[in-house]
Amino acid sequence: MGDTGKWWKGGLIYQIYPRSFMDANGDGVGDLPGITAKLDYIADLGVDAIWISPFFTSPMQDFGYDIADYRGVAPVFGRLEDFTALLDRAHQLGLKVIIDQVISHSSDRHPWFLQSRESRDNPRADWYVWAPARADGAPPNNWLSLFGGSAWSWDSRRRQYYLHNFLCSQPDLNFHNPAVRRAQLDNMRFWLEMGVDGFRMDVVNFYFHSAGLEDNPPAPAGAAALTSVSRDNPYAFQRHQYDISQPENLAFLRELRALLDQYPGSASVGEISADNALELMAQYTAGNDKLHMAYTFDLLSDQCSADYIRAVIRRLESAIDDGWPCWALSNHDVMRCLSRWGAAEDPQAFPRIALALLLSLRGSACLYQGEELGLPQAQVPYERLRDPYGLAFWPAFKGRDGCRTPMVWEARPGGGFSRGEPWLPVDPRHLPLSVQRQRAQADSTLQAARRLIHWRRQQPALVSGDIKLHDNTGEILCWSRRCAQQKLLVALNMGGQTRRAALPQDIDKVLEGHGFSGRIERREIILGPYQALFAQLV
């Protein structure tokens, strides 16, 4: 991919949710040795890196996003030695390794919090966000937890409230305290010294809160809800002006970048969930001194019309300047793309055109485990739900378990994921889509994904080129990608009807080898259902 020091720029990152990828010891929960055993499969796809969701020591109230030891491995996932073995094998296969960093909050069982809550004058008393009650005993302000209810919980030892943007067992660290920032940077240095290639920064805009603890204003009437939040969640009723996305965040991201720059080739990707997410993405990645790249939930929403996708690209491009986005259509927090965008579409053809969209945008991309198989959202009965978010908002919102069910390696009950009972049930509809079965089918979604990924690696304009949208193409998405080595035209038909559009630029030739059959006749682009066209520009 050219400059190996910038492998991330235009790179494709395969996201692994470790609880559900592969279970090596038969306890029903995926683990680090299980990931290592399947790295050859991932490398064969043609991706550049893996991103592993949290595997650190945790009571698992939020399944690893509540960390009790930032340098330890949860026993359910293995040992630290298992991670170093994984890291070594990935590097042998040419895969970079990114690990999650959940530094905005910890578990309430972290030694830091256990000490902080003991008194108001201990050495870590100010490491978390504490505030007195109002005169009537109510919480300090109206801030809400994304997982429901107030963002404040009362602690009887300190006789104060502490802040938690998520579960009450996930207290927020106080990033206004420089000792907290240093401690978290030191924790990241630990993993960099071990040899990891970078970090995915969880809720990267949540680090700082307004020290004034002002009430958030209500969201304006008719305002769109955060794309990462259920419409039934009161969190969406507020404009999050004071609890997240504070200007002090930029200075900390520069501290983080200075650390990463000490380890050449390392990279960072930040997750942004906010009212103004695209604008924050631009701020957080501009100037080559903060995040290397960032992603938002704008393409993880329910909206998928051509006009909506064009509007997202246009808004980002108008703001991002020299920044760099990282796109995703599925992850461990949202309904899988095939069910969210493609519920009414052809279940075999739609995942392929969705991947073509992902790999044609300017930026890097994340591919969530199972996306290459075309997995739909799994059906998880209420009695098997594990996600606290889903349990809190059932039945209007069924939570995140449906996108977290085990990977299907074989077409037999349990999917070959574990010798034991899987922690979440395997949806029987997934079994015909197993890796085993799709490897044996030349026309499978897996084979199509592998072909497209490898083809895209050879197209420098798709990897690192700029982008120019072409309007007036109706339901066909169309843009140009350009770099010094190549100029391409991209056209995508995400629907089940043949569509046509006027050719916006002169082309030299239509490219092949990617698996799609779009064509040009009499200066008109003609795309059959779920088809794409890639053409060399004059």
Q: Are strands 96-101 and 49-52 parallel, antiparallel or unpaired?
A: parallel
DSSP structure class, residue 241: S
pLDDT band for 164, please (50, 70, 90 cuts). Answer: very high
Under CATH, what is the fold of the domain 4-105+178-455? TIM Barrel (3.20.20)
pLDDT of residue 87: 98
Spell 415-425 as b/e; 16+ CB within 10 A means b.
bbbbeeebbbb
Say if residue 399's pLDDT is above 60. Answer: yes
- Contact between 91 and 32 under an 8 Å Cβ cutoff? The reply is no
Catalytic residue, candidates 202, 345, 372, 401: 202
Q: Are strands 499-502 and 69-73 parallel, antiparallel or unpaired?
A: unpaired
Could you give the 3-state DSSP secondary structure of residue 481? strand
What is the residue-averaged pLDDT of the chain? 96
Which of 253, 179, 167, 246 is closest to 213 using CA atoms?
A: 246
- Contact between 524 and 502 under an 8 Å Cβ cutoff? The reply is yes
Where do the structural domains in the chain lie, given as residue ranges? 4-105+178-455, 466-537
Say if residue 427's pLDDT is above 60. Answer: yes
Say if residue 1's pLDDT is above 60. Answer: no
Which of 370, 371, 244 is closest to 299 using CA atoms?
A: 371
Catalytic residue list contains 202: yes
- Contact between 13 and 367 under an 8 Å Cβ cutoff? The reply is yes
pLDDT band for 2, please (50, 70, 90 cuts). Answer: very low
Say if residue 129's pLDDT is above 80. Answer: yes
Average pLDDT over residues 179-186: 98
Catalytic residue, candidates 100, 271, 279, 298: 271
pLDDT of residue 227: 56
Catalytic residue list contains 255: no
pLDDT of residue 275: 86
Say if residue 396's pLDDT is above 80. Answer: yes
pLDDT of residue 232: 79
What homologous superfamily is domain 466-537 in, according to CATH? Golgi alpha-mannosidase II (2.60.40.1180)
CA angle 499, 462, 3 (to 5 degrees): 175
DSSP structure class, residue 456: H
Q: Are strands 486-493 and 476-483 parallel, antiparallel or unpaired?
A: antiparallel
pLDDT digits (tens, 9 = 90+) for 94-123: 999 999 999 999 999 999 999 999 999 999
pLDDT of residue 229: 76
Task: Give me the residue label for tokens 């197209």.
Answer: 459
Look up residue 533 and give its amino acid: L
Listed as own residue / partner, the contacts of 210-214 with beta carbons closer than 8 Å and 24 or more positions apart are 210/241, 210/242, 210/243, 210/246, 211/176, 212/242, 213/131, 213/140, 213/141, 213/242, 214/141, 214/241, 214/242
Say if residue 225's pLDDT is above 70. Answer: no
CA angle 439, 444, 448 (to 5 degrees): 100
